[in-house]
Structure 1
Amino acid sequence: MVDQALLEIGSDNSLLLVDDDEVFLKRLAKAMEKRGFAVETAESVAAGRAIATARPPAYAVVDLRLDDGNGLDVVEVLQDKREDCRVVILTGYGAIATAVAAVKAGATDYLAKPADAQDIVNALLSERGELPPPPENPMSADRVRWEHIQRIYELCDRNVSETARRLNMHRRTLQRILAKRSPR
């Protein structure tokens, strides 16, 4: 599969990854390097904009919500500096309105977190207007639900009561879910 990806990437394999989740960013960078990309990373809108201005990449994967602002600001700079840049927006806050805004700003695709590295590559390399192939091993609905609950739990600083309130569920139900192992 790596050889196929190398053929599809082309001669300019520069890739900008912008995400404020340091662990995810490092893991994704390593996975994309294995697939033939020359990766540069940024953990903020400011850093992403600086790289996009100085060295506009051929490809970019940008988180929608970053600590210092909106990832769409990086997408706008990328489109100004390099119109042919293929951009994929990643977000844990999937909504139709933000997907539309991302595409209008110039994004090629919009994927919900957690996204598999191969799904990201497929989205980056798909032709405009062409849908990438469906994932080989998509997460189960139970796993997606569990990931979402875990993410909200972490964002609420592991406060069960606040997480339950935000998820609109009973606190005891949430405690039972958190006590279980993650589904496959």
Structure 2
Amino acid sequence: MLMDNAPSAPAPMRVPEGDASILLVDDDRPFVTRLARAFEQRGFAVRTAEGVSEGVSAIRAQAPAYAVVDMRLGAGNGLDVIEALRRARPDARVVVLTGYGNIATAVTAVKLGAIDYLAKPADADEVIAALMRDPDTKAEPPENPMSADRIRWEHIQRVYELCDRNVSETARRLSMHRRTLQRILAKRAPR
């Protein structure tokens, strides 16, 4: 009998026994629909919300065991959803997804109770792995960490947002010339 030594595709991760309720909060409808389908196929009881108020309402109705929350929502911030879930169910495990990652929001999300912070696009297996990771084990280092230029750019963006997008105030707080800051803000984010 011949044995096939070709590597097979890994089986998708499945939810552990117990409460498998999960809330997905994201204002990107196609993305949240795909993610919900993937979670349902892996045994989760999925509910979705497209904004902060809808997410908080879903938590009030029945606080889930797990949540995946987008950081930037159309009419608010995903941190508000995390905070509401933490009050309703302190043992809930939350992963934050974002297309606009920066260090300050990651730290705030973790302080509010998120167990991980993943950049979009993240597939269901990555998210489930983050949700199920033993709290005492460290996460794997990223394959492609941010460059020093990207970290600098993220810091500038953070201060700019904290200054309500006021270029003059941001330049003053960063001790840089206003025109230099305008040139940096006009460019795309470095890799």
Deviation above 4 Å: which 4+ runs of structure 1? 132-135
Q: Radius of gyration: which is bigger?
A: 2
Post-superposition CA distance 1:96-144 (Å, at most 9, x none): 1111000001101100111111000000011113235579xx79x9xxx
Shift of the 132–31 alpha-carbon distance from structure 1 to 2, 3 Å rule, reads farther
Aligned residue for 1:40, secondary structure, equals strand
- Indicate the structure with greater helix content: 1
2:36 aligned partner: 29
Shift of the 116–134 alpha-carbon distance from structure 1 to 2, 3 Å rule, reads farther
Aligned residue for 2:135, secondary structure, equals coil
Shift of the 5–133 alpha-carbon distance from structure 1 to 2, 3 Å rule, reads farther
2:127 aligned partner: 120
Alignment of 1:7-156 (within 5 A): 9-132=16-139
Post-superposition CA distance 1:48-98 (Å, at most 9, x none): 000111100000000000001000100011010101100000001111111
Aligned residue for 1:129, secondary structure, equals coil
In structure 1, give the amino acid aligned to 2:35. Answer: L
2:158 aligned partner: none
Provide the aligned C-alpha RMSD in A: 2.5
* Runs of 5+ unmatched residues, structure 1: 142-163, 170-184
Aligned residue for 2:109, secondary structure, equals helix
Aligned residue for 2:94, secondary structure, equals strand
In structure 2, give the amino acid aligned to 1:17. Answer: L
Shift of the 26–168 alpha-carbon distance from structure 1 to 2, 3 Å rule, reads closer
CA distance in 2, matches of 1:15, 1:30: 12
CA distance in 2, matches of 1:168, 1:60: 29
CA distance in 2, matches of 1:68, 1:165: 25
Aligned residue for 2:48, secondary structure, equals strand
| TM-score, structure 2 normalization | 0.68
The count of residues paired between Structure 1 and Structure 2 equals: 143
| TM-score, structure 1 normalization | 0.70
CA distance in 2, matches of 1:11, 1:33: 15
